[in-house]
Amino acid sequence: MRLFSVYQLRTKALVADARAAFQQKLEAWGQEFGGVWVPIDGQSLIYYFKGDAPQDALLRLSQWSEVITVVEESAPPFTVSEIANKQVSVKEAQFGAGAASIIAGPCSVEDYDSMLVIAQKLSALGVRALRAGAYKPRASPYAFQGLGIKGLEILSAVSKETGMAIVTEALDPRDIDLVAEHADILQIGSRNMSNSSLLKEVGKANMPVLLKRGMASTIKEFLYAAEYVAIGSCQDIILCERGLRHFDSEVRNILDLSAVALLKQKTGLPVIVDPSHGTGRADLVPSMMCAAAAAGADGFLVEVHDKPQQAWSDADQALSIDNFAQTLPKLNAVLSVFDKTSTPLLAK
């Protein structure tokens, strides 16, 4: 069953009397079948119906002499809007349905030693999901593109060592199987949110998917992207708000925290927030994590580095381990106000 169906009805240009008579007829129709008609201009009305609209009644309506068309508005993302109170649970990290977890780690996999040090320090703070990109979607083809397979192998080795769940990005449908062998959650980055071929393939991988919002995407486009993944038979989808393109060079992106509350009205999928790409500034990350928790976030994706200034990519937004650790008690305090259980629990 659909949550909502929406139709637009266009009428011929009617003189005042004919319009009044038509409206009376329509009201009687509405009383019989339910739903709400909302006029949008002289010749159009929108019909909102909670659930599946009565198709035969709509067909009958389209045959009225005053009516030009009755068309279904772009269909809402059915599958994702029907998913209720979903929890995505991977190893010891849980997202949604009252649980919030942190995914932390450097922007890119750099080498085994630094990855292990960062993972161990994060693990000691209670973080159970480790992030780092082996395939990096960079604006410049001359920037560091990631270590590729070597990066994936490093992530697997670090996961074996620490037991942490691995979150890493797949950029290309041809790499999905390989990335899936080394990851626990497949990440689809902001630049690929609209790549429907990639979304369809990732939805078939039988793996949890972390879907980041496109940097210039509407909420509806974001939900449609999730719909592509969901119809591939994957419902373990975590949505991630990561900031939108805008006009102020003070911050890299503008973090849309209203999206968190809004998405949670529209879907029961877990919604997490990435304040690192969302602001591009390490100094803003701690307060944005707390604000995201207050907005209802079911988790956080944060770039953390042992030596932030030496990070191979996104150095300006990498939190030091110390600053990350200092944020946890405040974050946990906010989460507990919203009755969320959190991983890490340590700093509670």
Binding site for ligand PEP (CB under 6 A): 107, 133, 137, 169, 189-191, 212, 242, 274, 277
User: Quick one: 107 or 219, whose CB is closer to Mn ion?
Assistant: 107
Place of tokens 């953390």: 304
Place of tokens 């990561």: 242
Residue 137 Cβ vs ligand PEP, minimum distance, rounded to whole Å = 6
Residue 90 Cβ vs ligand PEP, minimum distance, rounded to whole Å = 17
- Can you tell me which of 103, 107, 230, 328 binds Mn ion, judged by CB under 5 A? 107
Q: List the single partner that 189 binds among Mn ion, ligand PEP, none, CB under 5 to 8 Å by kind.
A: ligand PEP
By beta carbon distance, the residue nearest Mn ion is 107
Q: List the single partner that 331 binds among Mn ion, ligand PEP, none, CB under 5 to 8 Å by kind.
A: none
Q: Which stretch binds Mn ion (CB under 5 A): 5-13, 22-30, 100-108, 289-297?
A: 100-108
By beta carbon distance, the residue nearest ligand PEP is 189
By CB under 5 A, residue 314 contacts Mn ion: yes
Residue 233 Cβ vs ligand PEP, minimum distance, rounded to whole Å = 24
User: Quick one: 31 or 140, whose CB is closer to Mn ion?
Assistant: 140
By CB under 5 A, residue 238 contacts Mn ion: no
User: Quick one: 201 or 274, whose CB is closer to ligand PEP?
Assistant: 274
Residue 290 Cβ vs ligand PEP, minimum distance, rounded to whole Å = 20
User: Quick one: 66 or 201, whose CB is closer to ligand PEP?
Assistant: 201
Residue 124 Cβ vs ligand PEP, minimum distance, rounded to whole Å = 23
Residue 250 Cβ vs ligand PEP, minimum distance, rounded to whole Å = 18
By the criterion CB under 5 A, which residues form the site for Mn ion? 107, 314
